[in-house]
A and B are shown apart, each in its own frame.
Chain A
Amino acid sequence: MSKINFLKPDKDNLTTFLYMGSFLFVISVIDVFLNSFFSLNITGFLPASLSFIIPIILGFIGLYFIRIEHSGNKLLDQLNKNINTSNFNAILSLLIIFIIIKSIPPVLSWFVVDASFAGDSKDVCSGTGACWTYIKVWFRRFMYGMYPNAEQWRINLSFIALALLGSVGYFATEKFKKYLTLYYVVIYPFIAFLFIFFFISGGPIFFDFSYGIIAAVISIIIGFFIPGRFKFYYFIFVPITLYIALKYFIFYEELIELGKLDGLNWVETGAWGGLSLTFIISFFCLIFCFPIGMAFALGRRSDFPLIRYISIGFIEFWRGVPLITVLFMSAVMFPMFLPADFFIDKLVRCIIAISLFEAAYVAEVIRGGLQALPRGQYEAAKSLGMGYWRMHIFVILPQALKLVIPGIANTFLALVKDTPLIFVVGLLEIVGMLNLAKTNPEWLGFAMEGYVFAAIIFWIICYAMSKYSYNLEQKYKTER
């Protein structure tokens, strides 16, 4: 055994340094651990300030001893490489380890150990922990807003149905795969619109809906007997004609009786709220902002100067103002711009405002994709004799959209995170409901629980979306 130099740990005395270093390091961790979990201070005999920093000093010396390069011990090398490359890194690692150990007990006790789950009144929440009873009691309000309790199955049913219809893409066979884009871009949003505006709001509009269903069913049945050549024109004109005929000329009185589904009461949009409203708004804005944004992205790259300037003006205007002022505008200024007897629902105004706002961001993202495509793609498509629309639909947009998946996903994430702002017009989604519940005199003082609950929900939604977009990006990645 060679001479030991404590200032320079080396390979020759590996075992000695390893034992001493690990011992000091473990001591320091145990000190912090006992201190935080059992409030036991094993260095309590020292002055307070010294006892406070002693774990860091011990740990630092320990890590210094075991920092031996190329020791031959795989585990040790791995450890040194990852957390112990230099003195500075060692201190940072120690601090992070200590912060984690220190923060586990208070977090755990607030979330679980001292928290109250049982009961349904404020009295059970006397401990120091969180009061999850509060969330339990208000759960329906946080999810559905002021929507009547007895009618909430309508929201659940609609969302379940839409989720099932949305998952069609995973089960489609090869034969139907080519129709999927059409389905998701045109048919699915239409069905969703019908569900939300007729089923969730319910009431008298449902009559019109029933005419529509009957017209559709009849025209589909007759459609089987129409020769293929005319099918396209048939399905454009006949259902609409049938609908108008049914509504205004034929079974007027009888159908009102038929169309009335008992118990489907009208629920005005002011009563909608909670997480379901977050979903509804995000869903519609997502559907609307994408095509609008695409149109303006193409407009901004158009050869026609007037169209280009109008697009630039539109995009820069919406990107330059905060969403909250846009919502202010939709609330106080927009009604002034419409005829006096013309009333647009608050929720619809909100959706229009947010869609236009996000469309500008989508437009910029898509423009980035369009610019990133090599000129050769445009020239190749033109040399094949394709016109503007054919070139964009079959060659340019599929490639450009593939490139901008991350950007689009970020815009959609921003959209979901922006929905709480609708409090400006008086609509209360989950954060708004939390603020309402917080001021309830029977449940004062549980703001923290509510915000933590909402934060967890939003975090899960947003994190899942970003991971999904990452997967999409990997799936559609093409080598250039």
Chain B
Amino acid sequence: MTFVRPGVLCAALAAAFPAAASAATDADLKQLREQLRELRQSYEQRIQALEQRLAETEQQASRAAATAAEAGTTASAVARSVVQVESRAAEAQAAADSVARRPTGESAFNPAVSLILDSKFTRLQRDPSSYRIDGFMPSGGEVGPPRKGFSLGESELAFSANVDHLFRGNARFSLAEDDGQGTVEVEEVNVETLAMPAGLKLKAGRFLSGVGYLNQQHPHEWDFTDAPLAYKAFFGPRLQNDGLQLRWVAPTELFMEFGAEVASGERFPGAERKANGAGLWTAFAHAGGDIGDSSAWRVGLSHVHSNPRERSFEDNGVTNAFSGRSQTWIADFVYKWAPNGNSSVTNFKLQGEYFQRRETGELTYDTDGAAALSAVRFRPSGGYLQAIYQFMPQWRVGVRGDWLRSGTTDLGTLNAGDLPILAGYDPRRQSAMVDWSPSEFSRLRLQVARDQSRNGEADNQVWLQYIMSLGAHGAHKF
């Protein structure tokens, strides 16, 4: 292939039609010069006129006190015209600038990309691979602390952009390493509508459910290194849906939002499904507002319903499975305070959530062997309460209390001794943290915790963590 450089091409063309080219250029140049001259003349005239008026005014002012008032008006008129001329010139400049700044090329439409680096160093008393929450049916999710010592943690890679005038797309992947194998997990891939009428919004794909308060926040937004025990036990450690979400914001001064979701329900508290249709439904309502300039609040009530079929879990080396109906209620609140609403120096946040679950159905003990079956009933509950205080710019301290109750457990005809993890126990945990954020994009955190998730085995934990965000960093939710 041969390339002809445009300069060479122009030269060749100019050589081929010298007369025409020069004639056109001459004519253009002449015209341009003419215009320039006219412009210059008109501006000179205007400036001269202004100067003349200014001079006249000065003369008048110096002549007599009687004409001083008149002179004042003329002077302000002059100043006013000067302001106008200035503003016109600036406008022309702004227009020229915006033309010059206009981005070009395909990359101008690239989605916003953000990368979150999140690494941890832990000092644990107990082996994290034996982590369990006693008194609760295991969720199968990643709920334990990371390995002892240094660990890579999870890096989040997120993309988002408006697809067109109707849709916005979001994708978020988490990159981690599991036993030396690199893993990519799809955290969120969804589209949401931009132009639904009447305050409605529809989201489709994989998304973090709108139930509760913390569920929609990504790990880098958490105020502690790990999720509250209640989230670990009830959602292992959060409710992630593949499905549809519809939300509606009421047109009132008090913030009111209602939402409902239908989802595949393949994850805890649902189970893998082979059937058509949906396996998990949620409904939630949130309300919020301000108290004066300094305080803001939000409360919520949510419900999650699913019908898991053969949700299996391992206990003491034996595989068991639960089939039935699972219903979860969540009540949540958050209260934020900052003097005059200015959170840059000091601010305070109090948040808490309460979970209650009712599960009724059948439990099969040892699905691969004895396969003993019985009607069962569980009523666990739990919650957490946490307070965060920024006592000076960049520095925050926080405490968190977690509690869980295995509640009334009815195992029917099954032998309670065969299912040790379901034995009645109320796990507890206390955590405290201090973090330092030199900017909005970086955070270093020290957290200590006393975790009594395992019956009779307290685990004293020390965590060190950094969270760094690179690239486009979207605004956080309240």
A and B: interacting chains: no
Which residues in A have some Cβ–Cβ distance to B below 8 Å?
A: none
